[in-house]
Amino acid sequence: MVPTIAALTGADEFLNHQIANTHATVETADRGWTEKIWMTLFRKDGSLQVDFGLGKYSNRNVLDGFAGCQQGTSQRTIRASRVLRPAIDDLAVGPLRYEVLEPFRRIRVTCAANAAQPLEFDLTFTDLMPAFFEGRDREIHNGRLATDVVRYHQTGTISGWIQIEGERIPVNSDEWFGVRDHSWGVREHVGVDPVDLVPPPKGASTDFHFNWFVGCLERPDGSRYGLNYYFREYREPRGLDYFTGFINEADGRQTKLLRVYPELTYRQSDHAMMGGKLYVLESSGRRDVTERVFEVEAINPEMGFRLQPGMYGAWKGLIHGAYKGDDFLDGELVEDVNDPAKLAESARWEVRDRPLRIREGDSQGYADVESLVRGEWPAATMV
């Protein structure tokens, strides 16, 4: 439990968080207020991956979402957006729909037949572990509270079906693994950034490094536990900007981590994380510190759903939260997401959901990582 966040309730599954008012409004007037859900779902053999996301922007009167799949190096993405009101409680946009079947147990996401891409699916996420909070994420930029976000994540199995170009593919729970999250609060880069802001200092470094990681492992006795961490770091004088990390147990207990020191390799051509070790420091609350070592490796070197086409960062002039019309739908097929030219066009292209295997001693499981490496960092070796 994070001390500044109250306990989860069933209502927290839904995109309805407010403060002291009706559900028709939120307390802050900040147009960066966002409530988002996200999922990455993949076959354990690395042959197929599906991503899904939905965002509600109460102060922008917009609901948008994305969905897509990746096979090999080929990625299909669908984007949809609509005006939020009056259908403020309908968690659907275009062909995409999100349903809470049983809070924190079963979530259903669907993509109906559509004109953007020959992709449909009906998938149900079933929990492997409870939902766990991360640390509250707060950033102040030039005196403004630019980020103030609460997030929880959860791991699970996936069942249902996917249809690509008319071919129906069954999804069996023992063959699939998934990670989802749900966050709400004020975010940066929601809609188009204002053009009249004071520019950053001349000569300021643009070097930046981040990992967001969620994994679930099974011990030899069949019990489960998870590892989650998230850090952002910049060049000095800013340095480590944010860190949160926990060992999560199946009974709901969380052990807060002091720090995670990754030693990971990345493919030079597209900055894909290939594998390595995570040195995890935890404390019992006394003076003793325990180091635990987790090993990770990419399940499939070619796999990793790119998030930029899902409007995480500008894509074809589109970004999440921006008004795109009363009822907007589009999408595309990218034949080779690992083409180095894509990274040369935009550093954000490297941010992907990367399916991993994870091991600690005799315990093993699966994980997802999102990463970005801009500049040289001791924790990120290019190969």
Which residues 6+ apart lie within 8 Å of 127 measured at CB? Answer: 104, 105, 106, 154, 155, 156
How far apart are alpha carbons 378 and 356 in whole angstroms? 21
DSSP assignment letter at 363? E
Residue length, the chain? 383
- Where is pLDDT greater, at 40 or 199? 40
Between CA 115 and CA 94 the distance in angstroms is 10
pLDDT digits (tens, 9 = 90+) for 299-325: 999 999 999 999 999 999 999 999 999
Q: Which domains does the chain have, with CATH numbers?
A: 10-382 (2.40.370.10)
More confident residue, 302 or 145: 302
For range 7-35, the mean pLDDT? 72
Q: pLDDT band at residue 24, thresholds of 50, 70 and 90?
A: low
The residue-averaged pLDDT of 190-196 equals 89
Query: Count of alpha carbons within 13 Å of 131, Cβ hemisphere only?
Result: 23
Output the six-digit token pair for 355: 């399916």
What H or E segment, with its residue span, contains residue 132?
Answer: strand 132-133
Interval 252-266 mean pLDDT: 97
Per cent of the chain over pLDDT 70 is 95
Q: What confidence tier does 283 reach under pLDDT thresholds 50, 70, 90?
A: confident
Rounded Cα distance, 326 and 82, in Å? 5
Structural contact between residues 155 and 179, judged by C-beta atoms closer than 8 angstroms = yes
pLDDT, position 222: 97
pLDDT recorded at residue 204? 77
Percent of the chain with pLDDT over 90: 80
**Distance (Å, whole) CA 112 – CA 163:** 10
| pLDDT tens figures, 215-236 | 999 999 999 999 999 999 998 7
Query: Does residue 237 have a pLDDT over 70?
Result: no
* pLDDT greater than 70 at residue 207: yes
For residue 23, pLDDT over 60 is answered with no
Model confidence at 19: pLDDT above 70:
no
Q: What is the pLDDT confidence band of residue 22, given thresholds at 50, 70 and 90?
A: very low
Span 50-103, pLDDT tens digits = 999 999 999 999 999 999 999 999 999 999 999 998 888 899 999 999 999 999
pLDDT for residue 175 is more than 70: yes
In this prediction, residues 155-180 reach a mean pLDDT of 98
Would you tell me how many other CB atoms lie within 10 Å of the CB of residue 101?
Answer: 12
What is the residue-averaged pLDDT of the chain? Answer: 93
pLDDT greater at residue 8 or residue 220: 220
CA distance 266 to 142: 33
Model pLDDT for residues 344-380, shown as the tens digit of each residue: 999 899 999 999 999 999 999 999 999 999 999 999 9
Give alpha helix (H) positions in 49-205: none
